[in-house]
Every structure is written in structure tokens, then in C-alpha cells.
Amino acid sequence: MTGQPVPGSRGTLRAIALSAYGPTLLGSTGAGAVAPIIAVSARELGASVGVAALLVAALGLGTLLGDLPSGALAARIGERRALLVAAVIEAVGMLMSATARSLTALFAGVLVIGLAGSLFGLARQAYLTEAVPVRMRARALSTLGGVHRIGYFVGPFLGSVVVARWDVNAAYLVGGIASLAAFVLVLVAPDITAPGRAGATTAARRSVGSVLLEHRPVLLTLGVGALWVSGARAVREALVPLWAESVGLSPAQTALVFGIAGGVDMLLFYPSGWLMDRHGRVAAAVPSMLVLGLGMALLPLSTTLVAVTAAATVLGLGNGLGAGLIMTLGADAAPPEARAQFLGGWRLCADLGRAAGPVALSGLTAVMTLGAASVVLGVGAVIGAGWLRIWVPRHDPTRLRRQGEQRGTSRDDASGARGASGASGASRDGQRGT
């Protein structure tokens, strides 16, 4: 029945795949179909290059503006209903963009798509965090990140087909259809979080501000780490095409570089989750940032297609090693009694980093060469790795579990030693008695 919990679903990824990952695949495919088209739409409406870039930025602006309200709404109506609301809002934004006849209307439509993306992202993270046990949390969330990457990879190809067949606005219709399909899937799929909702009514009464104020030490330490990670990832996305253009690669060659690096990135999402569940969050967080830093430092040394591809692949490897990292760290730190409100602030930290990364790149290139800026940002990524090494272990449930197991083993060993000593003593007494 619709909305009923899945018996035994809490504990296996296969059991929750349709409910957890299906809507994400549909939503990210629609968003991927639209992402490359926004600037083209703006240009067709008469925008300059600078204004077209501003229209593209409206997507990120909508996400930033939606983070905190999304936390409040998800806490009040529940993660599943929030997913339904997000799908409807996104479909409306797609329709607004498809029918826009002015830059103002297009800006409004793209902003609405960004707002919906924020709510959808928060709700699916909270939804999956609630549905799976801690022992497999990283694998579940890294798989969620991987499914999102797959959708964004497939979406542009689908969008290009319909644009070639009809016109630019057809891509928004693809996005709208994908949003509505995600709505239907969420509606008919079983609710995988219902068994764990005790206390949800009490949690919904808490404001986002009060939750973030209570947990500000976490946001100012681990949250800064999330900002650093998302900033490094955003720099990678902006840096590679800029460098490829600077060394004379054609757009087709740049797309090839991105495709190869993206393929490496997508292949690593599940191994990343396994690594975090098996060996702790630091085992993925620190190497991910170090490899990203290495890739940024190597990029200025590349001047040919092969060399640029190799450097971009190193960056893709670093990004893939951290698949699901930000969501996992947020899930680890979120208080169960106010998870949605906390995740609103957490995602705001990550989205601020995503916005700040390209800004930092732009600022550095104003005072130094692109190659020098790449090296400086690479050093920044290494510093971020050090920050994560300090703060991630303090909130890592796998570390706490291992410590508990070690204490339990020590107690068992001690009990066994006492038991052996007692048995030995009894044996000696018995021998004396005979």
C-alpha cells in the first residue's frame, strides 16, 4: 500500500533502492538536461555573456536561499512529503522557464528550480539517513551521490536530443516531465522512514535558528570542513575548462576530458562509501582533499590533450574518493531529534563553499596567472585535508563503534583471564586436596 513502511527494509540497500534512489535519478536527469541550456536560453532572449552567467548563477542562488526554509519545512511535514512538494515546485519552475519571454521571467523560473533543488536535496538526505542503520550509512549516501552523478551525466545527452528535434525550451519540458515522474514514484513507493519517526512532532516545533545555535560548535568546525570540500570540488569544475581553453584545446576536446574524468569519478562512489563505513570517514575525507590538491598543482604542468586529461583524471579521482562525504558527515553530526533543521544549516555551509570556490578562483586570477592560482588553490585543498583530519574523527560513529568494540574485547579478555586464574587456582586446590 502507498505510504506503508517496508518490512525489514531498514538494513539493506536493495530493499530501499526504488524509494530512495529512483526519485533522485529522475530528478537529477531532469536537472542535468536543463543545466547546459540556461545560458543558451538567456542568450536567445537577448542577454549579454555577463547577464547569461548571472542567469546561470540564479540556480545556485535559489539553492542557497532555500536551504534553511527547506530544513524547517521538512521538519514540519516530514521528509517524504517534502520530496513530493519539491517535485511539484521543480516542475513549476521548469514550466516557468520553458514559457519565459523575458530575462526577468527566466530568472524567476531558474530561481524556483534552485529552490526546489534545495528542498529535494535536503529531504532525500534526511530520508535516507533515517532509513538505513549507521553501519551502512556512508555506502547508502555515497550511492545517493553516485546516482545523482549518473543522472547529471545522462541528462545533457537527453536534453541535446530533444533540443535538436525541437528547440531550446524542449529541455525544460524534459526537466518538468522528470520532476512529475519523480513525484509519482515517491507517491507510489513504500515509505521507508515510517518506523523511525518517534518524536517527530516535538522536533517539528523547534525552529531552525534554535537548532543551529545549539549546534554552532559543530557547524563552525566540521561545517567549515564541508565548506572546504565543496569549494574544492567547485574549483575543479571551473578550473579544468578554463585551463583547457588556455592551452588551446577545442570545446570537443574539453568535453572529452570532462567525460573521461567524470567516468573515473562515477566509478568510485560505492568504493568511497565502503571505505568510510569500513575504515572511518577520515579514510576517504583526507585522501580526497589531498588528491584534489595534487591535481590542481599538476594541472599547470599540462599543455597537451593527454597531459590535461591525466591531470583532470587525478581531479576526478579525488572527487570520486569523496563521493557522499558531505552528506555522510552531515548525517553523522545531525541530532536525531532535529535532523532536518540541522541539515538545512549543514547544506547551507556546503552550498556557500560551492559558491565561494569559483569566486576565489576569479579573485586569484585577477592578481596572478591561472596556473599560479591553480597551485594556490591546490595548497588550500591540502590545508583543508588537515582541517578535516582534526575535526572529522570527533563525529565519526564508526570510530566510536570501534572504540566500544575494543573496550568490550578488553573486558572479555580480562574476564577470561580472571576465569582462567580462578580455574587454575581451583585446579591447584584440587591437587592439594588429593
Q: What is the CATH number of the domain that holds 338?
A: 1.20.1250.20
Whether the predicted pLDDT of 249 surpasses 60: yes
Are 225 and 167 contained in the same domain?
no
| Boundary residue ending a domain (151, 183, 205) | 205
Angle ∠(267,269,274) on CA atoms, nearest 5? 120
- Alpha-helix runs per DSSP H in 137-281: 137-165, 170-188, 200-204, 208-214, 216-246, 251-267, 269-279
Is residue 414 in a domain?
no
Are 198 and 211 contained in the same domain?
no
Predicted local distance difference test score (pLDDT) of residue 198: 46
Q: What is the 3-state secondary structure (H, E, C) of 263-326?
A: HHHHHCHHHHHHHHHHHCCHHHHHHHHHHHHHHHHHHHHCCCHHHHHHHHHHHHHHHHHCCCHH
Are 231 and 372 contained in the same domain?
yes
Sign of CA dihedral 246, 249, 255, 258: negative
Note the maximum CA span of the chain.
Answer: 107
Long-range contacts of 166-171 (CB under 8 A, 24+ apart): 168/37, 168/40, 168/41, 168/44, 169/41, 169/97, 169/98, 169/99, 171/33, 171/34, 171/37
Question: What is the rounded CA–CA span in Å between residue 171 and residue 33?
Answer: 6
Are 33 and 136 contained in the same domain?
yes
Residue 132 DSSP label: S
Residue 136 DSSP label: G
Are 95 and 200 contained in the same domain?
yes
Are 175 and 218 contained in the same domain?
no
Whether the predicted pLDDT of 419 surpasses 70: no
Whether the predicted pLDDT of 22 surpasses 60: yes
Among the residue ranges 215-229, 325-339, 388-402, the one predicted with the least confidence is: 388-402
Is residue 349 in a domain?
yes
Are 211 and 318 contained in the same domain?
yes
Is residue 394 in a domain?
yes
Are 90 and 223 contained in the same domain?
no
Whether the predicted pLDDT of 71 surpasses 60: yes
181 and 59 in contact (C-beta within 8 Å)?
no
Amino acid at the residue 303: T
Are 137 and 66 contained in the same domain?
yes
| Boundary residue ending a domain (189, 205, 221) | 205
CA distances from 160 to 157, 174, 207, 368, 390 (A): 5, 11, 43, 37, 45
Predicted local distance difference test score (pLDDT) of residue 192: 64
Is residue 8 in a domain?
no
Please give the mean pLDDT across all residues of the chain.
84
Question: What is the rounded CA–CA span in Å between residue 189 and residue 18?
Answer: 7
Question: What is the rounded CA–CA span in Å between residue 14 and residue 208?
Answer: 33
Are 22 and 77 contained in the same domain?
yes
Whether the predicted pLDDT of 81 surpasses 60: yes
Q: Which residues span the domain enclosing 261?
A: 206-407
CA distances from 135 to 79, 194, 341 (A): 21, 20, 23
Q: Is the model's pTM score more than 0.85? A: no
Q: How many of the other CB atoms lie within 10 Å of CB of 170?
A: 18
Is residue 115 in a domain?
yes
Is residue 149 in a domain?
yes
Is residue 359 in a domain?
yes
Whether the predicted pLDDT of 120 surpasses 60: yes
Whether the predicted pLDDT of 197 surpasses 90: no
52 and 42 in contact (C-beta within 8 Å)?
yes
Are 61 and 112 contained in the same domain?
yes
Among the residue ranges 34-38, 118-122, 275-279, the one predicted with the least confidence is: 34-38
Helices (H) and strands (E) in the chain, counts: 18, 0
Number of domains making up the chain: 2
Question: What is the rounded CA–CA span in Å between residue 38 and residue 56?
Answer: 6
Pick the closest to residue 226 from 317, 135, 330, 147 (CA basis).
330
Are 292 and 331 contained in the same domain?
yes
Helix axes 170-188, 13-34, angle to 10 degrees: 160
Is residue 419 in a domain?
no
φ, ψ dihedrals at 206, nearest 5°? -80, 135
Whether the predicted pLDDT of 426 surpasses 70: no
Among the residue ranges 149-163, 216-230, 326-340, the one predicted with the least confidence is: 149-163
